[in-house]
């Protein structure tokens, strides 16, 4: 697989294998982890933040191995679904930061190009999520809408 906006092939490397079952030393059970994850997500955390907090604070190495569900599916079953997917939200946050930077420094041409590339990445990701019904069919990216979505 190659990178979107470069002529290089991207990065490859080993990935952590998906464990079939949770290790024996994990004392938490699936219902406790599910309740804790839903409580943290209702507090305003994203799925990745919840997983990291459960890993570091509660000693759960893999929520997926313990509950046999991915974190986003686990939160959706618990009734907590964000209006935007996490990766799209992160891109919107970066775009808003770049827009503010370019408002102060209008001659920063390399960041202007980076903003254009990031906006095209957002449009591409939005098209993917509209096809998967994770975004409404009429959702479109606008720079003013990005500021409203982030704040």
Phi-psi domain of 127 (left: phi exceeds 0; alpha: psi -120 through 50; beta: other): alpha
pLDDT at 1: 46
Counting as low any pLDDT under 50, the low residues of the chain are 1
Backbone angles phi, psi at 52, to 5 degrees: -65, -40
Q: How many CA atoms lie within 13 A of 141 on its CB side?
A: 21
Distance CA 59, CA 25 (A): 9
Q: Which CATH superfamily is domain 86-150 in?
A: S15/NS1, RNA-binding (1.10.287.10)
Q: How much is the pTM? A: 0.79
- Residue/partner pairs of 95-100 with CB below 8 Å, 24 or more apart: 95/119, 95/122, 95/143, 95/146, 96/146, 96/147, 96/150, 99/143, 99/146, 99/147
Residues 103 and 121: beta-carbon distance below 8 Å: no
pLDDT for position 130: 95
pLDDT given at position 2? 62
């Amino acid at each position: 697989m190659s990178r979107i906006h470069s002529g290089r092939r991207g990065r490859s490397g080993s990935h952590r294998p998906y464990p079939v079952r949770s290790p024996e030393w994990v004392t938490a059970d699936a219902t406790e982890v599910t309740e804790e994850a839903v409580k943290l997500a209702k507090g305003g955390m994203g799925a990745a933040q919840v997983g990291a907090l459960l890993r570091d604070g509660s000693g759960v190495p893999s929520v997926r191995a313990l509950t046999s569900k991915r974190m986003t599916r686990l939160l959706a079953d618990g009734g907590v679904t964000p209006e935007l997917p996490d990766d799209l939200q992160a891109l919107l946050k970066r775009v808003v930061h770049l827009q503010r930077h370019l408002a102060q420094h209008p001659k920063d041409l390399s960041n202007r190009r980076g903003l254009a590339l990031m906006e095209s990445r957002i449009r591409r990701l939005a098209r993917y999520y509209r096809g998967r019904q994770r975004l409404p069919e009429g959702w479109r990216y606008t720079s003013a809408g990005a500021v409203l979505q982030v704040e």
